[in-house]
Amino acid sequence: MTGQVATRESYGKALLALGESRNDVVVLDADLSGSTKTKAFSQQYPERFFNMGVAEANMIGTASGLASTGLTVFASSFAMFAVGKAFEQVRQEIALPIANVKICASHAGLTTGEDGASHQVLEDLAIMRVLPNMRVIVPADGRETEAAIAAVAASEGPAYVRLSRMKTPVFLPDDYEFEFGKIPVLRDGSDITLAACGVCVHPALEAAEMLATEGIQARVLNVACIKPLDEATLIAASRDTGAIVTVEEHQRRGGMGSAVAEVIAEQAPCHVRRLGMDDRFGESGDGAELLAHFGLDAPSIAQAARETLALKQKGR
């Protein structure tokens, strides 16, 4: 796999592989299989695919019931609807009974693009990470998506996997392995840490390259697994670099950046700056242009790092 691919596409590919290797895997979709990329599974394994219609709450309840019979269930819709329309059912029927259901939601974040603010869910990580028993994963590229889907399928219990609509570079190595509760260090550095998730990881790496030309060595963390969170790697980054910038296409409050800040504030205080949406909704537009507009592209990340590093050097 090379070039660019949307993580939702890699999700569809991973489902096909699971369908071939395991007959206990079933897939539910809320009448969006063409967009969530579950359509290929539905065509290959129609007896194990259920189109639940435009009814996410019912889909989640059905998924829980199927899981109670010993099946491994994947339930998909747009993230705005999988989380926003079905929160009660997710809490009561998935998280509370620890059902073996994997909620894989596409079209999350600003890069949902032209669909606009109504569909660009920017609150889902905050909502899902506070649910007991719920694991929360945001793959950085297509390769990590396939690895993450294989990992959630092989482990019991609930998971929320956030997937993107926009095609992004495939940049992780061929032998990449996803681990729950582990933050990979993609680039080492001693001056500042850039901690990103999802589509913002590659821009963070680009920002680190820009900073390197100025003599600034940035450590880059791929916080794909937001829950359980790898506290040890975050604490080490805080102590080694003394400053952290977090980057996500999500509200600044409650998301990955807040999860990182909670750990740092309690265990290894340092300068933390959170990049994300500042208490506002998104806009309709090209996904990459929206990232730039809202300060989440590589030049913006690099500038935020410079400003944070300046505060660190002043001891403020």
Positions marked catalytic: 56
Find, among 180, 177, 294, the residue nearest to 227 by Cα.
Answer: 180
234 touches 263 (CB < 8 A):
yes
Spatial separation of the C-alpha atoms in residues 235 and 224, rounded to whole Å: 17
For 217, residues 6+ apart whose C-beta sits below 8 A from its C-beta are 188, 189, 190, 191, 211
CA distances from 30 to 60, 95, 164 (A): 10, 20, 17
Residue 227, Cα to own-chain centre: how many angstroms? 10
The residue with tokens 């993107």 is 164
The arrangement of strands across the sheet holding 218-222 comes to 185-187, 218-222, 192-196, 243-251, 271-277
CA distances from 79 to 46, 179, 201, 281 (A): 24, 23, 20, 15
Which residue type, as a one-letter code, is found at position 303?
Q
Going through 231-300 in order, the beta strands assigned E by DSSP cover 243-251, 271-277
Look up residue 41 and give its two tokens: 């599974």
Q: Greatest CA separation found in the chain? A: 63
